[in-house]
Structure 1
């Protein structure tokens, strides 16, 4: 049995990640319209109607925009913690009770051979949490939308085979950019988003012998660029004595183009 994934979309305009085993398949977030989500999942030759469920990280619109439409059209089970469910009230329309499931923070849900572990992050949402997928010794970590990576988080996400890791902004681009200061301050805060350098420092503390792939995710369209993020992360990691391209590979993600469906 093999764990596969695709980052369907990643960035400030919408986020969604597809994860599957031979028995089960899940979306983590659906931050684009229902039609866009259907188009993205068809690009990796998968069928929305065959999903086992949809896992929600938090209630911001770039993570939940398509959830209500998809839940109703495909009768999908939706998993979120209680505070996120409350915060989504009025944002995603009515979801039938039998499709609403509570996934508490810092717990594990098992679906056949797949264990999904939830953990809290530091972001300005009701109770934001991300997920670690475990199957047959393989470990896939999803971590974006956090202002910093705490020691507790590092303990949970350490030595994964694959990371989908936030690399949101270049600090200089953000400081010099067109955003109002209130938004800049939010992004730079402990409940905002991690910069390229801060992401790389956190990566350097969790990468282990198993780690083979790191995907840079949730890049700001205004305050980052793919090449810049990759260069900054590479320089910081190599400054910590790591051999990028030998020990592990770095990959970009895109707001509109899914990554290839890949084994963890």
Structure 2
């Protein structure tokens, strides 16, 4: 089968993604309430107790809001680097020693035949990471909350079968938006979030003949729209000579209020 995944929620209102291999089901981030996570999982045909592990990218609330309650309810192990544990543990409530697992940045661990690699990203958290998943020769990469795409990040997520990539904001919408200038500066900085243009400009250096689909993720509700993000990114791809027939269109949407359909990532 390879892998399959669903993005349960994406954006500042809460982030969570499920990646499932032949023998293990992994939840990446739990930025929604435990009740909401259970409801979304049920929609996707999974019970909370079927999750085998929780991986954490960083300690911001839109990534850990429901983490403690969900992990306690279903008695799940949590994996994060030591710095992230130090920053988030006080927000989680009681976590048993058995649930507390260290996965250091850059470490590779396996769940059955699923190989999981963490890699460092640029964001204003203590030690944020992204994750790549490989099983049966297929590769799925999750890359959000990026101030910019460093060469190290590029090497990690390059040549993925499917890539979930941040396309957080339209720069002009952000500049004229309601946020204070200090927050705008943070979002636009190298430890902020990737814009539509930055995502589009990165893709020609990330996509290969192997790349089947790209999901645009972590869109701002205030300073972006999915149609605009799609148009901006696709126009940049076309400017780089990357043309697609409508039925081969590689860009896919994620949502803040509903999950994406299960996507099976295979070598075919």
TM-score bin, normalised by smaller chain: over 0.9
Alignment of 1:49-198 (within 5 A): 49-198=49-198
Secondary structure (helix, strand or coil) at the match of 1:90 reads helix
Structure 1 stretch 58-67 or stretch 104-113: which is displaced more?
104-113
Structure 1 stretch 102-111 or stretch 167-176: which is displaced more?
102-111
CA RMSD across the alignment: 1.0
Contact 2:132 2:139 in 1 (8 A): yes
Deviations 1:86-121 (A, max 9, x none): 000211112101011001111110111110000010
Give, in angstroms, the shift of residue 248 of structure 1.
Answer: 5.2
Aligned to 1:215: 215
Aligned to 1:29: 29
Q: Distance in 2 between matches of 1:203 and 1:223?
A: 21
Aligned to 1:202: 202
Aligned to 2:250: 249
Contact 1:77 1:101 in 2 (8 A): yes
Deviations 1:111-146 (A, max 9, x none): 111100000100000100010000111000000001
Q: Distance in 2 between matches of 1:118 and 1:159?
A: 16
Contact 1:214 1:248 in 2 (8 A): no
* TM-score of the superposed pair, with normalisation by structure 2: 0.97
Q: Distance in 2 between matches of 1:228 and 1:191?
A: 23
Question: Residues 148 and 245 from structure 1, CA distance in 2 versus in 1: closer, same or farther, beyond 3 angstroms?
Answer: farther
Give, in angstroms, the shift of residue 168 of structure 1.
Answer: 0.1
Question: Residues 244 and 176 from structure 1, CA distance in 2 versus in 1: closer, same or farther, beyond 3 angstroms?
Answer: farther
Aligned to 1:16: 16
Q: Distance in 2 between matches of 1:149 and 1:138?
A: 22
Query: Gaps spanning 5+ residues in structure 2: where?
Result: none
The question of 1:260 aligning with 2:266 is answered no
Contact 2:2 2:137 in 1 (8 A): no
Deviations 1:148-182 (A, max 9, x none): 00111111111100011000000000000000000
Q: Distance in 1 between matches of 2:29 and 2:191?
A: 19
Q: Distance in 2 between matches of 1:53 and 1:180?
A: 38
Secondary structure (helix, strand or coil) at the match of 1:98 reads coil
Contact 1:244 1:250 in 2 (8 A): no
Contact 1:237 1:244 in 2 (8 A): no
Secondary structure (helix, strand or coil) at the match of 2:187 reads helix
Secondary structure (helix, strand or coil) at the match of 2:153 reads helix
Count of matched residue pairs: 264
Query: Gaps spanning 5+ residues in structure 1: where?
Result: none
Q: Distance in 2 between matches of 1:48 and 1:241?
A: 44
Q: Distance in 2 between matches of 1:259 and 1:157?
A: 21
Secondary structure (helix, strand or coil) at the match of 1:97 reads coil
